[in-house]
Amino acid sequence: MPAQTSPSNRVRGGGAAPKPRRNAPPVLVRQMRGGIEESVHRGDIVEVDAGGRTIRALGDPDHVVNLRSCVKPFGVTAILEAGGRKAFGLEPAEIAIMASSHSGEDLHVRTLQALYRRTGVSQAALATGIEGMPLDELTRARLARDGERPGEIRHMCSGQHSVFLLLCRLNNWSTDEYWLDEHPAQVAYRASVATAFGTSPAKLRLGIDGCGVATYAFPLREIARAYAFLADPLAVPAADPRSSVAPSLLIVRDAMLAFPELVAGSRDRIDTSIMKALPGRIISKGGMEALRGFAILPGPRARGQAAPASGMAIKIEDGDGHDRATWAASIEALGQASVLEGQSLRVLSRYHRPITPDPHGRPAAEAVAQFELAPLGELLR
């Protein structure tokens, strides 16, 4: 009988399993309590332009990571490329939530239910699971108080799964086991992701995400490059194979910018908070295990100087189960890149140096980002 390969070691879609890296990444965030360093969080950061030119980097920009929920803005293009916007009359709010990792609040549920009623999609077909959902603590407490079991529509990935269900509805495909790799909805989604990343579906490295569908692994700089593409889709040259999906990606970008509370949530979600602090200037999208992508639109940065679009990707090595390192590193990196400054930086202060309170509400510890993300041109002088 042949040896079995465990799912955690399986590589689907080509390529050998990546080797563990030998050098530890730099320390990005230190957890301080009473002046004593209790722990450190290491990680990697890279900022690139739409052509892939590295602007800033710290650590290993070629570190291969799973996209997890950072894939969602690119996957939505699958239903748009298939003609779903016209066929279903998709509204910007509905497109935004299909790119989201939402909190499971009532506003998210109402948006999806209205979409399902209009398109004839059955909510019962969702297969996300419900473990740990909804993310929003107040909503979760209210459901528990009322004895209500959260449905899968409150799962943070139900918007993404709606793309698969709409593809099935549009093409008369069965929704049975729509999460499997060989299902045509997954094939279509995979093709759109590959196009957005400038590769082919056969070259994608696949794993299984927490909600049961595929996740895709890329070097960190390629994730940053994809987010630069999201920031300014129409700036990609016509000869670039990614240009075929640029009009659809522009629709996704504008929908996310218009509805930041549908991208994450109305209470204490860093992605929404960053986008509201800089309206119309940035898309922030997190994924599990402490990955975050930023699509930074062209426009003024420090001292009013204009800058082209760019993408930034940040990965905290240990997965950051408390979110504190991802929060602190994200705000610090955007500040050093002159994306955040002045008032926008002040309104995000609770994420910049996250506080751990004691039972009486006193600040007991704080996460402090300490690194230098200098432009590569300055480092080479």
Residue 341 pLDDT more than 50? yes
Domains of the chain: which residue ranges? 24-379
Q: Name the residue type at position 40.
A: V
Residue 288 pLDDT more than 90? yes
* Residue 174 per-residue DSSP state: -
Structure confidence at residue 301 as a pLDDT band (50, 70, 90)? confident
Residue 7 pLDDT more than 90? no
Structure confidence at residue 304 as a pLDDT band (50, 70, 90)? confident
Residue 381 pLDDT more than 60? no
pLDDT digits (tens, 9 = 90+) for 123-164: 999 999 999 999 999 999 999 999 999 999 999 999 999 999
Per-residue pLDDT at 16: 53
Give the mean pLDDT of the chain.
93
Q: Are the beta carbons of 319 and 343 closer than 8 angstroms?
A: no
**Average pLDDT score over residue span 248-257:** 98
Q: Please provide residue 291's backbone torsions phi and psi, each rounded to the nearest 5 degrees.
A: -105, 140
Please give, one letter per residue, the 3-state secondary structure of 121-171: CCHHHCCCCCCCCCCCHHHHHHHHHCCCCCCHHHCCCHHHHHHHHHHHHHH
Residue 261 pLDDT more than 70? yes
Per-residue pLDDT at 18: 58
Per-residue pLDDT at 374: 83
Entry pTM: 0.93
Structure confidence at residue 17 as a pLDDT band (50, 70, 90)? low
Rounded CA separation 204/7 (Å): 17
Structure confidence at residue 338 as a pLDDT band (50, 70, 90)? very high
Residue 1 pLDDT more than 70? no
